[in-house]
Amino acid sequence: MKKYIIKGGTALAGEVEIGGAKNAALGIVAAAIMADETVTIDNLPDVTDINVLIDTIEGIGATVERVNRHCVKINGRTVASVHADNDYIKKTRGSYYLVGALLGKFEKAEVTLPGGCNIGSRPIDQHIKGFSMLGADVKIEYGMIVAEAEKLCGAHIFFDRVTVGATINVMLAASLAQGNTIIENAAKEPHVVDVANMLNSMGANIKGAGTDVIRIKGVAKLHGTEYSVIPDQIEAGTFMFAAAATRGNVLVKNVIPKHLEALTAKLYEVGCSVEEYDDAVRVIGNPVQKCSQVQTLVYPGFPTDMQPQITVIFALAQGTSTVTENIFDNRFKYVDELTKMGAKIRVEGNIAVVEGVKGFTGASVNALDLRAGAALVLAGLCADGYTTIDDIHYIQRGYEKFDEKLQSLGAVIEIVDNDRDEQRFKLKAV
Ligand code: EPU
């Protein structure tokens, strides 16, 4: 089983290039099958979740040409089935965007129920509510979401809670519905805006994405386009926090600094320096960092996908910090793994009380989900000695060449497959 091995203690230094946003790309790849012309998508991250989705749309008949690792051409004219189900797609979350895309285009979709990281209960009631209001009959049968409409018609939808997934999914379906749709209490995340921009470049008529009211005028069909995915806010944030946690100095390139403001603000609070450029940010981690507090919120608040990573920073800061998780109900499982490395964290309900320690010590830990896994890598980079992280397939779902990018910043990290590789790494890293 492949794992990361890390020899901690190096302050990261240098420059790193951020790839396309995974969670935008999931919506964008699904949207691409809605046209009967070629859609070229660039700046795609080469990560498992995206590759599985691309394989799945190819599996239902879409014509897919992989131009290079980050660019794909998709033509939905050849889609021959509305039934999307395979062993891999079951494990991902973004599969549910195929419901919106297929329902919009064919007024029928049968898509396996979404998997994704185990970070608490993840209902899809708001997706179902949205599709139902557009006139679809939606059932959960044999592990599938089955949605069908005689005619998809625009509707006035008020989400009961802010959800990225349901906002994007309803936007997809409503783009090809008859008449006007209004989504109230919509999610405002940058990836919602990116999917809306991409749909508009295919001829959709979506206004207001990025605010909490999105208005969609249904159009008869969508056409081909060329589109480049926005930079990944969470990958960028993870490298920014890696620089801070290791007390390093890293220029994080190809980012939209505006999307990172909640993260930048926290870095200032703990006493790091952040320099902002047009499309880059430099983070300089001060040797002594202060405690603070954070609450995860919907955009533009602090993102839940950066919660485990900021906990690592707080765990090495002076004083006691608090981390409140408001989005998912079970996103602190990684705390037990951090504790094995010497962190002092007490979880009470949705709040983690983090007492700063002087340092971590290397240990064998498990990546329990994507962002928790990334946080353990950050902890390993700061720890004295060797850390091994199992189940790195979670991390590879959302971080492209994570180990190689970190190596380029001076980190001593490798993927190893067996004990012999591990021993070889340790001899080399001494
Ligand atoms: N929710 C409902 N009902 C619904 C939909 C959501 O109650 O029908 C709840 C969820 O259980 C959660 C909250 O609403 O408590 C927010 O869920 P949201 O729909 O916004 O999240 P998601 O679509 O399941 C996406 C990302 C997550 C990211 C969240 C929040 C994808 C594939 N996943 O999940 O990304 O944490 O938005 O920003 O886009 C990750 O990349 O590591 C990841 C988990």
Residue whose CA is at the smallest distance from ligand 1 atom 11? 122
Q: What is the pLDDT of residue 430?
A: 73
Mean pLDDT of all residues in 46-72? 96
Distance (angstroms) between ligand 1 centre and the Cα of 123 equals 9
Report, as residue numbers or ranges, the catalytic residues.
117
Q: Which of 170-179, 216-225, 415-424 has the lowest mean pLDDT?
A: 415-424
User: What is the rounded distance in angstroms from the CA atom of residue 314 to the CA atom of residue 142?
Assistant: 44
Band the pLDDT of 140: cuts 50, 70, 90: very high
Band the pLDDT of 119: cuts 50, 70, 90: confident
Angle between helices 22-32 and 97-106 (to 10 degrees): 20
Task: Return the percentage of the chain with pLDDT > 90, whole number.
Answer: 93
Tens of pLDDT, residue by residue over 290-326, are 999 999 999 999 999 999 999 999 999 999 999 999 9
Mean pLDDT of all residues in 108-130? 88
Residue whose CA is at the smallest distance from ligand 1 atom 43? 305
93 CA: nearest ligand 1 atom: 32
Distance (angstroms) between ligand 1 centre and the Cα of 163 equals 6
Band the pLDDT of 58: cuts 50, 70, 90: very high
Mean pLDDT of all residues in 217-239? 98
Mean pLDDT of all residues in 91-117? 91
Q: What is the pLDDT of residue 122?
A: 84
Band the pLDDT of 170: cuts 50, 70, 90: very high
| pLDDT at residue 22 is higher than 80 | yes
Q: What is the pLDDT of residue 48?
A: 93
Mean pLDDT of all residues in 320-333? 96
Q: What is the pLDDT of residue 319?
A: 98
Distance (angstroms) between ligand 1 centre and the Cα of 328 equals 8
Mean pLDDT of the chain: 96
Tens of pLDDT, residue by residue over 265-289, are 999 999 999 999 999 999 999 999 9
Residues near 6 by beta carbon (within 8 Å), at least 6 away in sequence: 362, 377, 380, 381, 383, 386, 387, 388, 389, 411, 412, 413
Mean pLDDT of all residues in 116-130? 87
Q: Is any ligand 1 atom within 6 A of the Cβ of residue 93?
A: yes
Q: Is any ligand 1 atom within 6 A of the Cβ of residue 24?
A: no
127 CA: nearest ligand 1 atom: 8
Task: Return the percentage of the chain with pLDDT > 70, whole number.
Answer: 100
Q: What is the pLDDT of residue 90?
A: 79
Q: Is any ligand 1 atom within 6 A of the Cβ of residue 23?
A: yes
Q: What is the pLDDT of residue 155?
A: 98
Q: Is any ligand 1 atom within 6 A of the Cβ of residue 50?
A: no
Band the pLDDT of 174: cuts 50, 70, 90: very high
Of 185, 199, 236, 191, nearest to 17 by C-alpha is 236
Mean pLDDT of all residues in 119-129? 89
Band the pLDDT of 89: cuts 50, 70, 90: confident
